[in-house]
Amino acid sequence: MDKSLKKPKKPPVIHTIASLHKHLQWALEVEHFTIPPYLCALWSIKEGTNKDSAKLIHSVVMEEMLHMTLVANLMNAVGATPELDRPGFIPTYKKRMPHSGAHLEVSLEKFSLSAVRTFMEIEQPKKTGAPPEADHFSTIAQLYDAIAEGLVYLVEKHKHKNIFIGKKLHQVTPEYYYGGGGFVYAIENLDQAMLAIREVSEQGEGKVPSSKGAPSSIFDGDEHFGQPPELAHFYRFKEIRYGKRYGAKADLSKIPDGPKFKVSWKDVYPMKKNPKVKPYPEGTPIRKKMDSFNRRYTKMLQMIERAFRGHPELLQTAVGEMYKLKYQGIELMMIPSGQGNTTVGPSFEYLP
């Protein structure tokens, strides 16, 4: 994190324990918010096509799951309670990113140029010198900077032992986690908390040097954990946008100039944008399939919440549910919607 975060000159926006808990819940909501749009784009790709793009999107989804887990570990470390099992946690798309000041509206839509451009805006790096922003944040990284700033302030004010009061048994540790990219670990102190925040920020926007506010590398900094660095999310989506790879010494201000790979916007299922169950009467075949998907998705979130609240062994089971969701989601991608030449697609609606 920036050196300026270590000694705030005045109380930051996040200067109470209650505010810290609230903003960590916001971070959990933001990380989840990205997953359904990314999955819709991924599942709309027809099998055997757009292999490079599918691999890149899948890797980002798995890292968003990692981010949720790290945020939950941080919440548990400071005595907060992760909340996933409630209607408001699953947003109704089309929607702006929760709690942000950005005007970008995010939809559930098929793999397309417009979808990838939206994904790049979601993951965009903060501008040089951009300040921490707890409320109405411009970039996700600025939200995490504000959380880091608040943590430092609260530890200085209340002492370490009065902030990190969580139960160790509620932490998700490596033996309970399966995912790609990055590393999950228990959080018990400020140093570990700052490392987790750094991991999340760098995987999204790129490696940030300690004394500057803009990425110095398009890579995610995973070498901190003994793993080879990968492209940050913004730059993975940028590769898809241009159908070209980045090199290790790429110029951040330019488009990728490495090897080309095939991107076909036509080899996708024509999913209707922002599908909803409402147009389909209860009991009809399409409604049953949509309800089955939404019920499983809600069940998965309920399971993840339990995993984050002291039953970490359930997390692997929840990941198994996600793979079952994939097949249901792809099936919905193939069913005619009855509205033009579009197909149904998954709606990701809360259904307990």
Instruction: Please give the pLDDT value at position 103.
Output: 80
Give domain status of residue 300, yes or no: no
Domain span at 257: 3-267
Dist. CA 277–CA 231, nearest whole Å: 37
Sign of CA pseudo-dihedral 114, 116, 120, 121: positive
Give domain status of residue 288, yes or no: no
Instruction: Please give the pLDDT value at position 128.
Output: 87
pLDDT digits (tens, 9 = 90+) for 55-74: 999 999 999 999 999 999 99
Q: What is the CATH number of the domain that holds 163?
A: 1.20.1260.10
Mean pLDDT of 200-211: 65
The continuous run of DSSP H or E covering 23 comes out as: helix 17-33
Q: Within 10 Å of residue 118's Cβ, how many Cβ atoms?
A: 19
The DSSP string of 135-163 is: SSBSSHHHHHHHHHHHHHHHHHHH-HHHH
Give domain status of residue 320, yes or no: no
Ranges of H-type helices in 170-244:
190-205, 233-242
Weakest-pLDDT range from 150-154, 189-193, 317-321, 345-349? 317-321
pLDDT digits (tens, 9 = 90+) for 78-132: 999 999 998 889 999 999 999 998 788 999 999 999 999 999 999 999 988 999 9
* pLDDT tier at 251, thresholds 50, 70, 90: confident
68 class by beta-carbon count within 10 Å (0-12 exposed, 13-18 middle, 19+ buried): buried
Give domain status of residue 340, yes or no: no
Give domain status of residue 118, yes or no: yes
Check whether 334 has a pLDDT greater than 50. yes
Q: Are 74 and 190 in contact (CB under 8 A)?
A: no
Dist. CA 181–CA 116, nearest whole Å: 21
In the chain, the number of structural domains is 1
Give domain status of residue 303, yes or no: no
- Of residues 266, 271, 221, 231, the one with CA closest to residue 57: 231
Instruction: Please give the pLDDT value at position 31.
Output: 96
Instruction: Please give the pLDDT value at position 4.
Output: 47
In this prediction the pTM is 0.91
Check whether 212 has a pLDDT greater than 50. no
pLDDT digits (tens, 9 = 90+) for 176-199: 886 656 689 999 999 999 999 999
Mean pLDDT of 289-301: 97
Give domain status of residue 194, yes or no: yes
